Amino acid sequence: MDSGFVDYVKICCRSGKGGAGSVHFHRDKFTAFGGPDGGNGGRGGHIILRGNKQLWTLIHLKYRKHVIATEGVNGSSANSSGKQGKDEYLEVPLGTVARDAETGEIHFEITEDGQEVVLVPGGRGGLGNANFKNSTQQNPQFAQPGEAGKMEWKILELKVLADVGLVGFPNAGKSTLLSVVSAAKPEIANYPFTTLTPNLGIVRYHDHQSFVMADIPGIIEGAHTGKGLGLRFLRHIERNSTLLFLVSCDAKDIVDEYKILVNELKKYNPELLDKKRILGISKCDLMDDELEEEMRKDLNKRLKGKNKAPFIFFSSATQKNIAQLKDMLWDQLNH
């Protein structure tokens, strides 16, 4: 397992306290008792999330449990405002969702490179006494204190942004397909839960075009209940615009296995079924043309109604129909 992929972190954020306003009166060699000229305090430092398209994981924040911004500086004489506290920026990959750790409330999501959103605002700076002068109060002897900063626990969660999501049971051949159509090098082994992290691959297409494919870790029956590692991985599928369901040609019943996968997604989030989908039958080098033709007839008969989906037989090992599969995916993504 590649432990370099981290898609969930919990961090304690402390924004800066605002600086206090100043109580001061103008003095110089010509003026013994001038009017109020106390400046405002500077605001405390914010904690800000910034999108960075070069990042694919939250691992750089995994061991950073506390993020602390600095305090604003107090105001001073001659209407001088205090300096603002230094903002703390946390660079995050696109697709990062920020939530309150206690209530679970979603605050916002980072979807664009360079996008900046304040996660925890710094305290406001207090107003100096110059702000409180009026016709009845010529020499106010008071100013505002700075507002306290906030200390809050936040959860950052990454949802992978990819065009095509591979959905299938362990051993359906997802990792092998991804390694064949892209430069991704996922770990490949023949046991359940081989892929414990979403692998992303750039699939090259004609004329220098490309799309992103994500191998979502194998889901098993009951994934929507949190069985195995299901829920954590299902959320990555929410982002894909097309779902490629993979079922091995040696499955007991291809349509039944496909229906189980669809049902898991439906229980987790029914909206996932609105996405475009393709059924890919993998490992076809294991069967002859006659058997394939029989299976094709069976699939045409049984893939109807809400289970209807275009399907294709392919083999990653021999590259059979790999080009046609890429064509099908490209058409789905662009129509």
Given this model, what pLDDT does residue 190 score? 38
Architecture, CATH, for domain 164-333: 3-Layer(aba) Sandwich (3.40)
Given this model, what pLDDT does residue 76 score? 96
What is the domain partition of the chain in residue ranges? 1-158, 164-333
Task: Please report, as a single letter, which amino acid is at residue 209.
Answer: Q
Task: Quote the CA–CA distance of 37 and 79 in Å, as a whole number.
Answer: 5
Given this model, what pLDDT does residue 311 score? 94
Evaluate whether 1-158 and 164-333 have a shared fold: no
- Residue 112 is given by DSSP the state S
Q: How many CA atoms lie within 13 A of 157 on its CB side?
A: 17
Q: Which fold has domain 1-158?
A: Spo0b-associated Gtp-binding Protein; Chain: A, (2.70.210)
Task: Quote the CA–CA distance of 319 and 326 in Å, as a whole number.
Answer: 11
Contacts of 78 (CB under 8 A, 6+ apart): 24, 26, 37, 39
Strand order across the beta sheet in which 199-204 lies? 199-204, 210-215, 164-167, 242-248, 276-282, 311-313
Residue 65 structure tokens: 């449990």
Task: Please report, as a single letter, which amino acid is at residue 294.
Answer: E
What is the four-CA torsion angle of 274, 52, 47, 41, rounded to 10 degrees?
A: -130
Task: Quote the CA–CA distance of 332 and 335 in Å, as a whole number.
Answer: 6
Given this model, what pLDDT does residue 279 score? 95
Q: What are phi and psi of 149, to 5 degrees?
A: -75, 175
Given this model, what pLDDT does residue 304 score? 82
Mean pLDDT of each 10-residue bin along the chain, 335 residues long: 62 97 93 92 98 85 93 96 97 92 93 96 97 93 97 89 79 83 55 48 75 67 51 61 89 91 80 87 88 90 85 92 92 84
Given this model, what pLDDT does residue 235 score? 63
- In the block, tokens 């040609």 appear at 249
Given this model, what pLDDT does residue 239 score? 63
